[in-house]
Amino acid sequence: MTNRIAFQGEPGAYSHEACRKARPDLKPLPCRTFEDAIEAVQSGEAEMAMLPVENSTYGRVADIHRLLPESGLRIVDEAFVRVHISLMALPGVEIEQIEKVRAHLVLLPQAEDFLKRYGIRGEASADSAGAAAEIAAAADRTTGVLASDLAAEINGLHILARHIEDHAHNTTRFLLMSRQSDTSRRGKDGMMTTFVFQVRNIPAALYKAMGGFATNGVNMTKLESYMVDGSFTATQFYADIEGHPDDPNVKLAMDELNYFTTNVEILGVYPAAIERF
């Protein structure tokens, strides 16, 4: 087993930052796509994958809920990273020289107030960390980048302003995926269980399936639906609950869920991160 952790993006991406925070003992392995990061773990090239699943400002990360069940991997941990945005440029450049900034499309609106204040226009880039590398290579002194401090460190850029995001709460939740799960662990702040399921084609099936969690006092922190194979009738649900499948109340709730569903697949049982409380 290799001592690498795969992530999607360029060195300095927020996923890279999450890897350094959660698994500093593992060597980060940048990958072009989420599928590539998953494949790195499946093939044994990496021990784990760090995948973003949701953001407190923009919601669910596209395609992740579809990829997780198909991957064959299991969730072994979760990590939360505050998305701090910094403005960076080549060394020696002053903020008054910056005419435009490049960043991932979702970052630009998060620093809108700051950019307006300085009269800087935004330009969308496929990847903020990648944009940092491009600016460093091109020696462009009129263009800045919005990215993480780590991206500036890696690419030798100078940080002109830190934490320029408009909202202080912006946080991304990541899941750490591995080939094998370990359900024997117990986290000091509790446990989380993530699973997907499809309900039977009977009236009020979802309502009845969820009833077991309410009556047994199991807190469901997330429930989302998404289409399966492009069908308007086949709906799969993704859920997070507090607790471990071996807990008596969770076991009763899952037994009731099984009665009203066609299939249930547990994607992971893992310690709850302190940041969620």
SS3 content of the chain, % helix, strand, coil (to 5): 30, 35, 35
Q: CA 144, 128, 272 angle in degrees (round to 5)?
A: 135
Which of 34, 114, 172, 195 is flagged as catalytic? Answer: 172
Q: Which CATH number fits domain 4-83+170-178: 3.40.190.10, 3.40.50.620, 3.40.47.10, 3.30.365.10?
A: 3.40.190.10
Q: Which position among 7, 174, 195, 213 bears the catalytic label?
A: 174
Q: What is 86-161's CATH topology?
A: D-Maltodextrin-Binding Protein; domain 2 (3.40.190)
In whole angstroms, what is the distance from residue 101 CA to residue 122 CA? 5
pLDDT at 244 (0 to 100): 97
At 235 the pLDDT is: 78
Give percent of the chain with pLDDT exceeding 70: 97
Q: Is 174 known to be catalytic? A: yes
> Above 60 in pLDDT, residue 1?
no
Report the pLDDT value the prediction gives residue 232, as an integer from 0 to 100.
62
8 Å CB contact between 107 and 128: yes
Q: Which CATH class is domain 191-272?
A: alpha beta
Mean pLDDT, the chain, whole residue set = 93
* pLDDT tens by residue, 227-271: 776 666 667 899 999 999 999 999 999 999 999 998 899 999 999
pLDDT at residue 164 greater than cutoff 70:
yes
Closest CA to 107 of 160, 157, 57: 57
- Could you give the CA distance from residue 97 to residue 119 in angstroms, rounded to a whole number? 11
Looking at residue 229, what is its pLDDT? Answer: 67
Residues of the chain with CATH 3.30.70.260: 191-272
Q: Which residue has the higher pLDDT, 57 or 222?
A: 222
Is 80 one of the annotated active-site residues of the chain? Answer: no
Q: In which residue ranges of the chain is CATH 3.40.190.10 found? A: 4-83+170-178, 86-161
CB 58 within 8 A of CB 131: no
Give the HSE-up count for residue 1: Cα atoms under 13 Å, Cβ half-sphere: 9
